[in-house]
Structure 1
Amino acid sequence: MNYDLIIKNGLVILDNGEVETDVAVKDGKIVAIGSDLGEASEVIDAQGLVVSPGMVDAHVHITDPGGSYRDEWEGYLTGTKACAKGGVTSFMEMPLNQVPATVDAASLKIKYAAGENKLTADVASFGGLVPFNIEGGIQELDEGGVAAYKCFMATCGDRSIEGDFMNADDYTLYEGMKQIAKTGKVLAIHAENATITDKLGEIAYKNGETTLAAYVATRPVFTEVEPIRRAILFAKETGCRIHICHVACPEGVEEVTKARNEGVDVTCETCTHYLYFDTSELDAIGPVVKCSPPIRDKENQNGMWKKVLAGEIAFVTSDHSPCTPDLKDKENAFEAWGGIPGVQNNVDVLFDEGVQKRGMSLKMFADIIATNPADLYSLNSKGRISIGKDADFVLIKPNAPYTLQAEDLEYKNKISPYIGREIGAQVARTILRGETVYSQEDGVVDTRPGQFILK
């Protein structure tokens, strides 16, 4: 057979571990794995590189459309180019920050239209669970092809903006879970206690606190653990499959593990920034590193790494949540937007911190960036290097340190807490369904071959 593409001589991460082998691609699919595969229209020599499944980043915020309120935030064009440069071949897009939020059939169609001819990565969508869409909106989103649902137990959204997202009260959570259970899809949950964190933040602000360290103190560990327990209780009652987003403390992971061992269908993720930064350095970096749940102390970070390496955390995401620089450029950390731009630096940072510094196996690396999120959200053509799957790859150059500069970023707004940091591995090439969308030699392509994934 004459293939479209053969990737030769790389260390390829397969389901049973890594092996030096070749991979052949035809019509965007993986069709052969082995040696002496024959001829191809294009041959890529991956000598010295690790060939991993392309990252499936299961937690990304793209603000398109901005509804005239957030037009200068991250759009599909720049956001998916950053994905390509960072080794992310597909992602799960959150239903909020865009205006209108994705909560029904009409808003879902608006979002799909906004992304037309702008995608350099494949995109699957979350539908929102909010107090104003539990009378038909859940079903419309299911029929419209969302891969899963998302809700906030923490306060979110801007009530002055019509159509903005809104956190779920307990009744909405309970009723929404009952409805989502009937779809068979997963409800992903931002689990923080809104009442307590809001009040603690209000008190600290009135007392003149301004630092990120003080902000972290207003969102203590128990304010994550309590809503995780509550969500698990509701899941037991309703039979809804749930996933806890961006867990930032080992105690939260322990609640998920305990429930899973008791038969509850629950998983969790953490984020790259929780495994990289700690509270002691936040104020030196500035509000660009503010997020919620907050980045906790070094002991907490070490505990999170133990949970990752023990297999208790299903996968790692970016929670890419950018905004305009003015919303970060605040002297008072409590006034700054909470969200970290990170989708371009998942693969390289995680490979360096996990594989190179902590001895994570390549198989586990592929699981936490690709296989496990693809499996959870039934992205059946994604997440593995195996015959019949989409030919999505990231080629990684190990032991190749570089220092990230602002001009390296593909984001619309060139801000990131990783700027100035030395990262010990590099993304050499990203391939989406057999087509190179980024290479170190040529940069990001402008062909925009990405597609929306409908479920």
Structure 2
Amino acid sequence: MREIWVKNGLVFIEEGFREVNIRVVNGQIDSFVKSEAEPLKEEADTVIDAGGCLVVSGFIDAHVHFNDPGRTDWEGIETGSHAAAIGGTTTIFDMPLNCAPSIINSKNLQDKKDYLTSKSYVDYALWGGLTETNITDRKELSQMSAGIIAWKAFMSESGIEDFPFISPDGLKQAMQAAKEHNKILALHAEWNEEIHKLTDFYKQRVGMNERRAFLASRPVSAEEKAVNYALELAAKYGTALHFVHISSAKVIGLIEQAKRSGIDVTVETCPHYLIFDEEDFLKSGAILKCAPPLRPREEVEGLWECLERGWIDTIGSDHSPCLYSMKATDSIWDAWGGIQGVQFTWLSLLDEALKRKISLKQILPLGTSNVAERFGIAERKGRIRPGSDADLVLIRLDESTIVDKQSLAFRNAYSPYEDKEFLLKVKKTILRGKVIYDDQLGVSKGKFGVCL
């Protein structure tokens, strides 16, 4: 039996923050003891002093592209999970595209699982891809379903050749397939036809600022149309839906109405939609290019209002890395769309929430218990309670984190978060009772992450 105590911290449990010591046995939370109670047992293998720290559940990032295998020059699970651990994330769900080949059949899925073994610093699960090319192969989808956390599909072009988007008619089949396998269907929801027409139009606007043209080519209306259509199908087929990286308060309002009508739907937004706006993109360019694009400041404020109302269910980084050369292009249209951010998701969000005087009790579940419950891993992950994995993050609010190039743990050392200062600091990240990151010692040498 391996016994560890985490003592003297202010621990976030279901009732809120409490002064308790945490007893960990064999990687799981065993019990709590009030801080002023009897002294800790001398036979404990390790005692971690969390004095002065908030102790919160390890964050779960359900939306990363670590590109492994096949495009490890872009990132890779070793560097991606290294960065995640530094930022307090202890579990990630890796998307089925940007690796090569994409995860659209059972062979690719098994090959990826085999390849990733013993390469990750954090625990992980894998998404499976639903595309126009595999939605009719029920036997193949059935084989895949047992080994994935959920399905992912695009309603507009993905940018990856072997991951084609699903047409409006094809989405009906995707809805049925997801329902049949009792899996959540996550959607990149932008209406492809509208984007295609607008892109062609704005590319021909001679003299128009290219960055403004890109923003105009992917309006909120494209999200709105895609979400409305998907919600109609979900109501018809009874499919559980999860909309990823929604960028508009108006669209989140539509999803909230659908929830109230009984549709099984949840919504994610990303830190970059809550931190940056279109003026940042116009200034910085491709380093902040993403799809959907960044929105005007009033949309950013609208998203925070939605968050405070409880209308946003989860936060995901949508960490989508690439070579810097793929950003440093002559034309914004040719640049890769994706933001490197998994290391700073919760530093940036908690920093911003504290500045806005939003309760941590309100924001923490968006990266912990809400994610675990939605994706069926709540017995192990997402809460600090007896029986759960001892995934813990120790955070100080009286120390700062300054982001410079030397601190970036990504394979390619650039990020829109560079030069920012966050008024908090991750001191330790603990995965199943093992310290995988210490702000003085760095990331552990051992890779302890396992596939869920």
TM-score where L is the length of structure 1: 0.95
User: Which residue of the partner structure matches residue 41 of structure 2?
Assistant: 38
Please provide the CA RMSD for this pair. Answer: 1.4
1: CA distance, partners of 2:218 / 2:122: 34
Give per-residue Cα distances to partners, 1:108-151, cap 9 Å, x unaligned: 011112212211011111111111112133212113x2111100
- Residue 301 (str. 1) matches residue 307 (str. 2): no
- Residue 155 (str. 1) matches residue 157 (str. 2): yes
Aligned positions of 1:213-292 closer than 5 A = 213-292=212-291
User: Which residue of the partner structure matches residue 65 of structure 1?
Assistant: 69
2: CA distance, partners of 1:79 / 1:328: 19
User: Which residue of the partner structure matches residue 91 of structure 1?
Assistant: 92
User: Which residue of the partner structure matches residue 168 of structure 1?
Assistant: 166
Specify the code of the residue in structure 2 equivalent to 1:146.
I
Specify the code of the residue in structure 1 equivalent to 2:331.
N
Aligned positions of 1:377-396 closer than 5 A = 377-380=375-378, 381-396=380-395
- Residue 53 (str. 1) matches residue 57 (str. 2): yes
User: Which residue of the partner structure matches residue 432 of structure 1?
Assistant: 431
Kindly indicate whether the alpha-carbon contact (under 8 Å) linking 2:203 and 2:213 is maintained by their aligned counterparts in 1.
no
Kindly indicate whether the alpha-carbon contact (under 8 Å) linking 2:28 and 2:433 is maintained by their aligned counterparts in 1.
yes
Kindly indicate whether the alpha-carbon contact (under 8 Å) linking 2:127 and 2:150 is maintained by their aligned counterparts in 1.
yes
Of all paired residues, the percent bearing the same amino acid is 36
Between Structure 1 and Structure 2, how many residues are aligned?
A: 443
User: Which residue of the partner structure matches residue 313 of structure 1?
Assistant: 312
Q: Among 358, 375, 378, which residue is 1:360 paired with?
A: 358
Give per-residue Cα distances to partners, 1:317-362, cap 9 Å, x unaligned: 10000011110012322211000011000111111111x1122222
Kindly indicate whether the alpha-carbon contact (under 8 Å) linking 1:13 and 1:362 is maintained by their aligned counterparts in 2.
no
1: CA distance, partners of 2:335 / 2:93: 25
1: CA distance, partners of 2:57 / 2:437: 15
Kindly indicate whether the alpha-carbon contact (under 8 Å) linking 2:202 and 2:216 is maintained by their aligned counterparts in 1.
no
2: CA distance, partners of 1:186 / 1:53: 24
Paired residue secondary structure (1:31)? strand
Aligned positions of 1:106-185 closer than 5 A = 106-134=107-135, 135-136=137-138, 137-143=140-146, 145-159=147-161, 164-185=162-183
Paired residue secondary structure (2:12)? strand
Paired residue secondary structure (1:98)? coil
1: CA distance, partners of 2:31 / 2:343: 30
Specify the code of the residue in structure 2 equivalent to 1:50.
L
1: CA distance, partners of 2:444 / 2:2: 22
Is the deviation greater in 324-333 or in 36-45? Answer: 36-45
2: CA distance, partners of 1:117 / 1:256: 39
Shift of 1:210: 4.9
1: CA distance, partners of 2:245 / 2:386: 32
Shift of 1:182: 1.8
Kindly indicate whether the alpha-carbon contact (under 8 Å) linking 1:77 and 1:119 is maintained by their aligned counterparts in 2.
yes
2: CA distance, partners of 1:71 / 1:45: 37
Give per-residue Cα distances to partners, 1:237-294, cap 9 Å, x unaligned: 1111001101100011011100000000001010000000011121322211110111
Shift of 1:394: 1.1
Paired residue secondary structure (1:89)? strand
- Residue 102 (str. 1) matches residue 103 (str. 2): yes
Shift of 1:214: 2.6
Shift of 1:3: 5.6
Is the deviation greater in 412-421 or in 330-339? Answer: 330-339
Kindly indicate whether the alpha-carbon contact (under 8 Å) linking 1:349 and 1:424 is maintained by their aligned counterparts in 2.
no
TM-score where L is the length of structure 2: 0.95
Kindly indicate whether the alpha-carbon contact (under 8 Å) linking 1:272 and 1:318 is maintained by their aligned counterparts in 2.
yes
Kindly indicate whether the alpha-carbon contact (under 8 Å) linking 1:154 and 1:191 is maintained by their aligned counterparts in 2.
yes
Is the deviation greater in 29-38 or in 420-429? Answer: 29-38
List gaps (5 residues or longer) in structure 1. none
Shift of 1:199: 2.1
Specify the code of the residue in structure 2 equivalent to 1:211.
E
Paired residue secondary structure (1:335)? coil
Give per-residue Cα distances to partners, 1:166-215, cap 9 Å, x unaligned: 11112221111112102221000000011111221222222244533331
Kindly indicate whether the alpha-carbon contact (under 8 Å) linking 2:97 and 2:160 is maintained by their aligned counterparts in 1.
no
1: CA distance, partners of 2:49 / 2:61: 26
Aligned positions of 1:413-452 closer than 5 A = 413-452=412-451
Kindly indicate whether the alpha-carbon contact (under 8 Å) linking 1:347 and 1:427 is maintained by their aligned counterparts in 2.
no
Distance 1:188 1:158, change over 3 A: closer
Kindly indicate whether the alpha-carbon contact (under 8 Å) linking 2:91 and 2:123 is maintained by their aligned counterparts in 1.
yes
Kindly indicate whether the alpha-carbon contact (under 8 Å) linking 1:16 and 1:363 is maintained by their aligned counterparts in 2.
no
Is the deviation greater in 23-32 or in 35-44? Answer: 35-44
Q: Runs of 4+ in structure 1 displaced over 4 angstroms?
A: none
